[in-house]
Amino acid sequence: MRINGEDRALAILPCLSRMKIDMPSLPDLVCPAGSLPALKAAIDHGADAVYLGFKNDTNARNFAGLNFDQKNMAEGIRYAHAKGREILLALNTFAQAGRVAEWQNAVDAAVDQGVDAIILADIGLLDYARQRHPQQRLHLSVQGSATSYEAINFCQREFGIQRAVLPRVLTLAQVEHVIKNTSVEIEVFGFGSLCVMNEGRCWLSSYACGESPNTVGACSPAKYVKWDKLPGAMETRLNGILIDRFGDAEPAGYPTLCKGRFDVQGDTYYALEEPTSLNVLSILPDLIKIGVRAIKVEGRQRSPTYVAQVTRTLRAALDSLRDGSEHFQVKPAWQAELSKVSEGSQATLGAYNRPWR
C-alpha cells in the first residue's frame, strides 16, 4: 500500500514520540551570580537556574562588594521568574556557636523572598528548614561533603532534600554508582576553579588563618593577605605564610593557600592544587547518559562577562545534544571561549578521569 507524505508523517509520529521518551533529558545548567548584572547575564545567555547568596557570612563566597541584599535579590528573582528560570539560594556555611539564629533567620528570609530552592550544608539548618518550612525545596550543598548514596539517602530521609551537589572527588563511574542508588537528583560541577578536593572541610585556610569558607564564607580572607615587593621579586603571604614568589615579569596572583607554589624538599611546585579549571565539555554525553540532573558552573566571585561567556558556551554545547549524542563533537570555538576564562588557561577533567585510580 502506498502511503502519501501526510500519511507517512502521521504513521511515524508514535515512533518519534517513543524515541523522545526514551532519550535522557538534558540536565539543568546552573550558573553563578555574585551580583545582579551577573544574574541577568546568566539568565540572558541560557541558564536554567542561577545560584546566589546573601551579603553576609551565611554563604561560602562572602567577598566584599559581592552578593545580594534583600532588594537586589527580590529584583533578581522577579527577573528570573519572568523568564521561567529558577533562583537557588546558597546558604552553605555552617552556623557558628552563639550565632545560630542568624543562619535560621537567613533560611526564613530566603523562603520569604520566594527562592526556588535553598542549598544547605549544615545538618542543623537542614533540620530547621524542614521543620519550619516543610514546603520549601532543599538541596544538599557540595559543602555537605556527601560522596556516597548512603549519605545522600540519609539526608533525603531525615530532611527531605530533593537534590545533592556532589563534591569534586568522584570518578565518572562513582558518580554513576551514586545515581543508580538514590532517587535524589544529582548535580555535578562542570566548569570553573577547583578546590583542593576536600569540600566541606577547607582545613588549609582554617589552619593558616583560623577562618575558612565554612565559617566566614571566604578562603584565604583578604585581611590576612600581604604582598611584599622585593628586589626582582614579589612575595605573597597569607597570615605570614609564604605562598608564592614571582619574578618581576610574572603576574602575581591572589595568594589562595591551596593554589600556591611551595618548596618541597628542594623542589618548588604547586604541591597541593595547580591553578587550572574543570571543564567537562568532552564528557557531556557521558554525564547525560548516566542521569546527571544538573551541571553547575563555579564562579560567584567572577565578573558578569565570565558568567555570560561560560553560560553561552555550555548552553550551546548542551543544546547540540538535544537530538542525541551520536554525532556530538566539541567545537574548537567552545574550547577557545572557555580557555579564555580558565585559570592559567588550563583545563582538566579532575577526578572524573583518574588514570591512577
261 in Cβ contact with 242 (< 8 Å): no
> In order of start, what are the domains of the chain with their CATH numbers?
20-194+276-352 (3.20.20.70), 210-269 (no CATH)
Residues 72-116 pLDDT 10s: 999 999 999 999 999 999 999 999 999 999 999 999 999 999 999
Strands 277-279 and 347-348: parallel
Residues 176-206 pLDDT 10s: 999 999 999 999 999 998 876 677 777 888 8
Strands 49-52 and 28-32: parallel
Q: What is the pLDDT of residue 355?
A: 59
What is the value of pTM for the model shown?
Answer: 0.87
Which grid cell is 230?
Answer: 622585593
Q: What is the pLDDT of residue 159?
A: 98
Q: What is the pLDDT of residue 6?
A: 40
Separation of alpha carbons 164 and 109, rounded Å: 22
Q: What is the pLDDT of residue 202?
A: 79
Segments of the chain scoring below 50 in pLDDT: 1-23, 356-357
